[in-house]
């Protein structure tokens, strides 16, 4: 029995050698060799991409005792999220909010402020310091968990071999029993408006403007556009958001919540043109001109601004991977086709994160990273795609998890609703920060929580409680009967649950 298994493995390895571009191996004990100065050891897992999906998978695999190599061409780990996305944007959102609050929200708090000035260079430096510290932290975790980190661009040479064009020049090659594609996404371009990251910008350019523009048009009223638009609005720019749909916030945001946050952002100075499409753009003049029209047609208009932020979404990034070399499929949206265990048509090649199906969220990518490694190591893994929270870090914040009211209506699912405003919450009142509400949706028969939607202070932190409740199948009565500390903003969450299954106390 043992002898037959050994013969099978030897035959399998011989077959791989024949189809690989690697030189023939002289003896079974000899390490894999390549036509370079050093030897290439076969890894248990090779990961292409060092963003959130890739680096989390690398660390998890290292913790599981696998021999891991992670290839990243940026020269810094963390991907879009850490370098030009989630992390730097939160730095600017937080610090611009502080600046805006000092300018407009101190008198009622008994704080007299003198001459307040914006030092944009220092604000950008604080952002960069946060990013560099976190990036170095990931490199430390790689070393701690025995992960090999290669800075370069990886391309499939065969189903098990990745050739890497090194950032410092030259090339190398890595062989893996398992390959994980985690190359992320890029900003979707707008036809006719070429990005220069100074006047026509993506979110990357919005994080690095050298001065506050007098005016800014944001094409796209989703989370990225609203977050970055709010940063520059707070710092003094006149910001206009142009959105094709009749609602801001993008898919998943509850209609009632979307209307609430739009009113609050408008109160802060942002303008909105909903149900409006951008027909064309011209950046040859001193200002960029956009021709816009009603989404239904019939109301043409010309808008102009110093800077235009294109935030119409992101698309999978697979350029240069050499997927055609191994016959991997992409769907009509450029996503790598996978099964429920993240496997491509080649079962040892998996794909996770933004370059495949599902919401393009960093925390979704993290969950998939852990699950994919568990599938490789243990044969099982788990991600509950029905319980992935979303957060928009404007002020007030917006957060939600589970189903929204419109989705339930469209699916003919019965539900009951409970609301509680922050204006009735004692902590929000003492903080002089009472805009927004907590909204819960539950099954009318079982009282099981179906969804939670929050617009208000610290919504992004509070949504974790709703996520946990959904994951464990809690009822709104379960939540309401769980003691919450007083005075806290989280009491609004409890009271919304009380309002759903019975009646709130303080409203």
- Greatest CA span in the chain, whole angstroms? 85
* Exposed / middle / buried, residue 360 (Cβ in 10 Å: 0-12, 13-18, 19+): middle
d(CA 396, CA 168): 45
d(CA 497, CA 490): 11
Would you list the DSSP string of 372-433?
HHHHHHHS-----TTS--EEE-SSSEEEEEE--HHHHHHTT---EEEEEEGGG-HHHHHTT-
Closest CA to 83 of 125, 132, 121: 132
d(CA 397, CA 264): 11
Is 348 assigned a catalytic role? no
How far apart are the two ends of the chain, measured CA to CA in Å?
74
**Helices 120-144 and 52-63, axial angle in degrees (round to 10):** 30
How do beta strands 271-273 and 288-294 pair? Answer: unpaired
d(CA 478, CA 285): 60
d(CA 89, CA 208): 10
d(CA 150, CA 77): 11
How do beta strands 171-181 and 349-351 pair? Answer: parallel
Strand partners, 291: 280, 302
Assess contact for 276 and 293: CB atoms under 8 A: yes
Assess contact for 180 and 191: CB atoms under 8 A: no
Q: How far is CA 330 from CA 235, 351, 358, 374, in A?
A: 42, 12, 14, 25
Length in residues, the chain: 507
d(CA 494, CA 485): 10
**Helices 86-104 and 223-234, axial angle in degrees (round to 10):** 40
How do beta strands 276-282 and 288-294 pair? Answer: antiparallel
Q: Check 100, 484, 486, 506 and give the catalytic one.
A: 486
- Catalytic amino acids? 486
């Amino acid at each position: 029995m043992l002898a037959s298994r050994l013969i099978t493995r030897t035959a399998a390895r011989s077959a791989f050698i024949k189809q690989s571009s690697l030189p023939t191996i002289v003896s079974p004990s000899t390490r894999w060799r390549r036509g370079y100065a050093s030897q290439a050891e076969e890894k248990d897992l090779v990961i292409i991409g060092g963003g959130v999906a890739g680096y989390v998978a690398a660390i998890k695999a290292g913790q599981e005792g696998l021999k891991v190599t992670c290839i990243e061409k940026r020269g810094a780990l963390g991907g879009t999220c850490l370098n030009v996305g989630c992390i730097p944007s939160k730095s600017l959102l937080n610090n611009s909010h502080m600046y805006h609050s000092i300018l407009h929200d101190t008198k009622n708090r008994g704080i007299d402020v003198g001459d307040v000035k914006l030092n944009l260079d220092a604000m950008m430096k604080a952002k960069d310091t946060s990013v560099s510290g976190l990036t170095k932290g990931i490199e430390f975790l790689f070393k701690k968990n025995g992960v090999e980190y290669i800075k370069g661009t990886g391309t499939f040479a065969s189903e098990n071999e990745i050739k890497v064009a090194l950032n410092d020049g030259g090339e190398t090659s890595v062989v893996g029993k398992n390959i994980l594609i985690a190359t992320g996404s890029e900003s979707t371009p707008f036809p006719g408006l070429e990005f220069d990251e100074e006047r026509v910008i993506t979110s990357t350019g919005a994080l690095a403007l050298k001065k506050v523009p007098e005016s800014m048009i944001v094409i796209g009223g989703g989370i990225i556009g609203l977050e970055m638009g709010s940063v520059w609005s707070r710092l003094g720019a006149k910001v206009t958001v142009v959105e094709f749909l009749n609602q801001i916030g993008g898919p998943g945001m509850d209609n009632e919540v979307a209307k609430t946050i739009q009113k609050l952002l408008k109160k802060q100075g942002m303008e909105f043109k909903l149900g409006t499409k951008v027909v064309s753009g011209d950046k040859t003049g001193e200002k960029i001109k956009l021709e816009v029209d009603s989404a239904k047609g019939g109301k043409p208009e010309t808008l102009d601004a110093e800077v235009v932020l294109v935030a119409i979404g992101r698309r999978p990034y697979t350029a240069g991977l050499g997927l055609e070399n191994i016959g991997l499929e992409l769907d009509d949206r450029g996503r790598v086709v996978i099964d429920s265990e993240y496997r491509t048509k080649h079962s040892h090649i998996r794909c996770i994160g933004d370059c495949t199906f599902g919401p393009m969220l960093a925390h979704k990518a993290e969950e998939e990273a852990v699950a994919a490694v568990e599938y490789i190591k243990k044969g099982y893994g788990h991600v509950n795609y029905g319980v992935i929270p979303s957060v928009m870090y404007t002020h007030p914040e917006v957060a939600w998890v589970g189903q929204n009211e419109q989705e339930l209506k469209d699916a003919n699912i019965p539900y009951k609703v409970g609301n509680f405003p922050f204006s009735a919450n004692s902590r929000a009142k003492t903080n002089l920060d009472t805009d927004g509400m907590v909204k819960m949706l539950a099954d009318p028969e079982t009282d099981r929580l179906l969804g939670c939607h929050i617009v208000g202070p610290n919504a992004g932190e509070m949504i974790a409680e709703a996520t946990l409740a959904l994951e464990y199948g809690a009822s709104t009565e379960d939540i309401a009967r769980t003691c919450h500390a007083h005075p806290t903003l989280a009491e609004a969450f409890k009271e919304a649950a009380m309002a759903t299954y019975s009646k709130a106390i303080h409203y």
